[in-house]
Each structure stands twice: as structure tokens, then as C-alpha cells.
Amino acid sequence: MSRDGLSRDGLDSLLAAARSWRDQDPDDETRDELDRLLTRAAEGDAAAVADLADRFSDRLQFGTAGLRGALGAGSNRMNRVLVAQAAAGFAAFLLGRDDSPSIVIGYDGRKNSDVFARDTAEIMAGAGIRAVILPRALPTPVLAFAVRHLDFSAGVMVTASHNPPQDNGYKVYLGGLDHGSQIVSPVDGEIAALIEQAAESPVTDLARSDDYTEAGDDLVGEYVDRTAALAGTAAAGRQPRVVYTAMHGVGWETARRVFAKAGFAEPIPVSEQAAPDAAFPTVAFPNPEEPGAMDLSFATADRVEADLVIANDPDADRLAVAIPGDGGWRRLSGNEVGALLGWRAAERAQRDDVDGTLAASIVSTPALRAIAGEYGLDYADTLTGFKWVSRVGGLLYGFEEALGYLVDPAKVRDKDGISAAVDLLALATELHTQGSSLAEHLVAFDERFGAYASSQISIRVDDLSQITAMTARLRAEPPSRVGSLVVDRIDDFRSGFGEFPPGDILRLWLTDGSRVIVRPSGTEPKLKVYIDASSTVGDAAARRTAAEAAVAELDRGMRELLAG
């Protein structure tokens, strides 16, 4: 046996797999990385053997989020070999689906994003597929827009969104009857099977061609024009002073063009975070939801005496908002922003005399359902993930609590942090012109629809089996109470529930109407718990106090249950 427990045959097989991967790798950096590991492993270095085993014992799985993982050599990492295999498998899928398939490819500012995008373009072109690549690193919403605008068969965006700096990813969209939405089951499985087939041959055997084209800036300009139009005439009002951060991502260039086209004064950028930087040097984690990620934004806002802070995540498909609060800046939750933009969408539908549907993922606040009911609109709950929200029929507006908002479904069928920023800025300007504010508008929301409060518990694990164990314990011993609140019923999605397919989701309803949802994260090794409560009793202040007290009690009770 080798020192890490592998048999001699097992070690030989691992080393052979690593050498085979190295020999087809076109990237000097990852090829050298494997060479060093192979040399150490051959000399009996147990740490090197363990590292190789981690890289090759599994394969980075292609699913409904495409691919996402840490950069590095090996089948369980993001690299040029894996991307080439994915592109070849996806090309085979498109050739079997369309007579004359076409694809548009975008990329963000992360390490190797441009390289992965050009590899994809060359392989698609080599397979006989019409391929267009965006002219530079651009936001994910521009790519999603391009799929619809060009009426192409598909799109690929190379991005890891708000993941850690060492990650990259590969997000896939489909045109035609999918209308430019992200892929869903069972298509993901079909593509994954074709990628596995492609991986049976070296990527050096793949046909490549430089017969692809680069999109012109007119495509970006069309996105800018369409997005700016969302503001209407709002910019003519008294504008708030706004600070903007791109979080070291690709949002600033496009966002500033959109704001200018809409007539808004240019926001004050957080200069340290305005340009794309794959190292994300000023944040521990490039996600505006994470503690500390917006500290530079708040410091800038204090210095310039701003009225509002808006932030995009690194690929600009999410939006974060902060307003002045007692003793500092208060970042609004995704549920709060989602409800305000949903109210605005309902007002727009009423003004334009149109019918349609408001939609949110099941873990998002029930407030949007209340808005739909008030305005006589349809409402739809969806599974978690914007790929489901964007596919709702007759969609007028959709959101998910993780800072994702779709305010213009006719233009793009994915969350769009720049469009959402324009809609939010138009609302803030209208309120500012009236002598009001977003803070006061939140109070007005409580008065009209009731106060909705929420919180989230996120438990990171080292072993995914820990998540299964926690949900299994809740199923084996269903709680009769969460804290002091009585459980009315539990919906178990394990075998499917209503129109929802099977999933490892538990939804607890409390007798006071509160709700708790427990589910694994779809992108990270975490168990997530979503807590929501509401109140329509008393004035706005009393409603807010009651809803927040219920959430606090449920939060405490769920932490006790999961710790036990």
C-alpha cells in the first residue's frame, strides 16, 4: 500500500490519469503544476499523492449551474482541458438540437475567463457552429441579453459570479423556446453525458477554428439603451447622491453608460473597486452579502455625504442597496429590495393596464404574493435559482432573496443587477423629489401590505454528508415547536411536493403563519435555513416589531434544533 492508503495498482492508475491529463493540457501553468505534483508523488510524497487524488478522484460536475469550481489542474478543477471538454459536449448537444446552431460567448474579469471563452469559441467554430464572442469582459446580463437579442441557439458566460477569487465557472443559456434562460433539467443531464463522451478522447484531437466573430459595441449599446429606458423621466427629478461599487468586477463601465443614458448624474465610484481585478484585493469574499464586503462603499459614502449606496457583484447580475441608518449604513436585505421593486412592478402593470405574473423562489419573502393579491396579478413560487424564476409564464417581475432581480423580462431572462439598479435609482429619485426616502417607503410598504421580516442561518460544512445527517434528523424527529412557536405542519419535498420535483427541502409552517425552510445550498457546502414572519396587526411600527420578534424566536429555535 502507498502511504495514503492507495494500493500500488491504485497509485499507478492515479499517476497514469494525471499524466494523461498533463499531456493534453494546452496551459503551461497547469501543466507545470501537474509535473511538479507527479515528480513529488513518484518520490513517495504522501501530500502530493493526496493532492492528486483530490484532483482526479472525481470530476467537476456539470449541472443546472453549468460548471463552477477552483482553478487548477485536474478533472476536479476549472482549467482549459475541462472547459474544452465542456465546449465539445455542448457543441454536440447543439448540433443535435438545431439545424444551424449559433452561440454567443461572454466572459468576466476573473483569471482565465478570456482564455476559456476563446477556447469555447474556437471549439464551437471547429464543430461548424456559428460563434460570436463579446468584445471584452462584460457583465453576465449583457451575455444573457445577447442570446435573446441575436436570437441565437445558445450562450455561454465564463464567470464564477460572487464566488471566492480562486474560482471560475461556465454558465450555459439556451435560446429558441427557452427564450435565453439558463438550462434546467433534464437538459443539463443530456449535456453532461455528451461532455463525458467528449472526455474519452484527448482535447488535442478536437477540431478548432478561428472562424468566429467578435461582436461590435453596438450590441452593448443596445443593452445600454434598453436598460436606460426603464428609468422613464425619473432623472428629471431631484436626484439623490449615490455611491456605486463594482466589487472589483466588470459592472462599472456598463453601469455608468446606462446611468448616463438614463439622465442620472454619474454615481461616485468606489475607486479602489471600480476596475476588474481577479485578485479581489480589498474584500475577503467578493459578495456584497458578506460581512465587510461593502465597508469601502460605506467609507466613501460617509466621505461624500451620500444618500444611497448601490453595489453590483463581480459579474453584475446581483444588486445590493444600502441606506443611511441609525449610527451608520444599513444594507437592505434582498427581500426588502425585492419587495420594493415588486411593488414598483405592480404599479407599472396597473398604469399600463397589463396582466401578468409576479414570481419569486420559495425561499424568498411571501411579501411578493401579498403585492400580487393587492393588484390582482398572478403569483408563482418557483424552486430556488433564477433559471426557474425566469421561466414563469407571463412574467412581469421576478426575484430571489440572494440579491437577484429581473425587472425587464422582455429584454433579458436572468437576474440583472444593472437593470435593477436603474429601477431602484428611478424609485429613489422619485421619492427624493417628493421629499421622501427609501426608508420611509419601507414604512409605507408595512402600512399597506403588512410588515414582513426574514433571516437566514447558513451552516458551512467540511463533509456534505453532514448536511444529509442534519436534514435526516429533522425528518426522523419532526419538531413540534421551534423555540416557543408551535409547528402546524411540515412539507417534505423529498418525494416531490405539489408542482415541485423531489428535493432535499423541508418547509415548516408555524401556527402564527410564520415559515421556516431548510435546504442545502446549490453552489456551496452549506445547509441554509430561511425564516420568514409577518404581521398586519396595529400600525407600521407595531407590525414591524411583531414580525421581527417572531423571526428572532424562530432563528434561536432553529439554531438549537440543528445544534442538537
Residue ranges of the domains in the chain?
A: 1-57, 61-215, 217-449, 451-563
Q: Which residues pair with 392 in a beta bridge?
A: none
458 given a catalytic annotation: no
The neighbour count for residue 260, using CB atoms within 10 Å, is: 14
Residue 5 pLDDT = 60
DSSP for 166-225 reads TEEEEEEEE-GGGTTEEP-TTHHHHHHHHHHHHTTS-GGGS------EE--HHHHHHHHH
Q: What is residue 526's predicted lDDT score, i.e. its pLDDT?
A: 85
At residue 523, the pLDDT reads 64
Q: Tell whether domain 61-215 is in CATH 3.40.47.10.
A: no
Q: Is 255 helix (H, G, I), strand (E, B) or coil?
A: helix
**How far, rounded to the nearest angstrom, does the alpha carbon of residue 157 sit from its chain's CA centroid?**
12
User: What's the chain's Rg over C-alpha atoms?
Assistant: 24
pLDDT of residue 1: 39
Q: Which three cell numbers stand for residue 39?
A: 515528480
- From residue 120, alpha-carbon distances to 95, 102, 140 in Å are 15, 12, 16
The per-residue pLDDT for 466 is 82
Instruction: At 243, give phi and psi (nearest 5°).
Output: -105, 140
Superfamily of domain 451-563: Alpha-D-phosphohexomutase, C-terminal domain (3.30.310.50)
Number of Cβ atoms within 10 Å of the Cβ of 488: 12
Residue from 294, 315, 292, 317 nearest 244 by CA: 294
Nearest residue to 50 (alpha-carbon basis) of 11, 106, 8, 9 = 11
The one catalytic residue among 102, 113, 153, 161: 161
CA–CA separation, 356 vs 82, rounded Å?
41
Nearest Cα to 408, choosing from 194, 541, 285, 232?
A: 232
pLDDT of residue 3: 47
Residue 270 has which C-alpha cell? 468606489
CA–CA distance, 279 with 277 (Å, rounded to integer): 5
Which runs of E-coded beta strand occur in 367-498? 378-382, 395-400, 404-406, 451-460, 481-482, 485-492
Bridge pairing between strands 242-245 and 268-269: parallel
Is 61-215's fold the same as 451-563's? no
pLDDT tens for each residue of the chain, 564 residues long: 344 567 777 889 999 999 999 999 999 999 999 999 999 999 889 999 999 999 998 999 998 779 999 999 999 999 999 999 999 999 999 999 999 999 999 999 999 999 999 999 999 999 999 999 999 999 999 999 999 999 999 999 999 999 999 999 999 999 999 999 999 999 999 999 999 999 999 999 999 999 999 999 999 999 999 999 999 999 999 999 999 999 999 999 999 999 999 999 999 999 999 999 999 999 999 999 999 999 999 999 999 999 999 999 999 999 999 999 988 999 999 999 999 999 999 999 999 999 999 999 999 999 999 999 999 999 999 999 899 999 999 999 999 999 999 999 999 999 999 999 999 999 999 999 999 999 999 999 999 999 999 999 998 888 778 888 888 899 999 999 999 999 999 999 998 998 898 988 999 999 999 999 999 886 677 899 999 999 999 999 999 999 999 999 999 999 999 987
Q: Which CATH class is domain 217-449?
A: alpha beta
484 burial via Cβ count (<10 Å: 0-12, 13-18, 19+): exposed
Q: Are 310 and 316 in contact (CB under 8 A)?
A: no
What are the grid coordinates assigned to 540, written together?
407600521
pLDDT at 64: 76
Q: Say how far apart CA 383 and CA 401 lie, in whole Å.
A: 12
Query: Measuring CA to CA, how many Å separate 288 from each of 5, 82, 163, 542?
Result: 42, 29, 11, 30
CB–CB of 96/57 below 8 Å? no
Q: Tell how strand 308-312 and strand 268-269 pair up.
A: unpaired
| Residue among 161, 209, 166, 175 nearest 72 (CA) | 166
Q: Are 49 and 2 in contact (CB under 8 A)?
A: yes
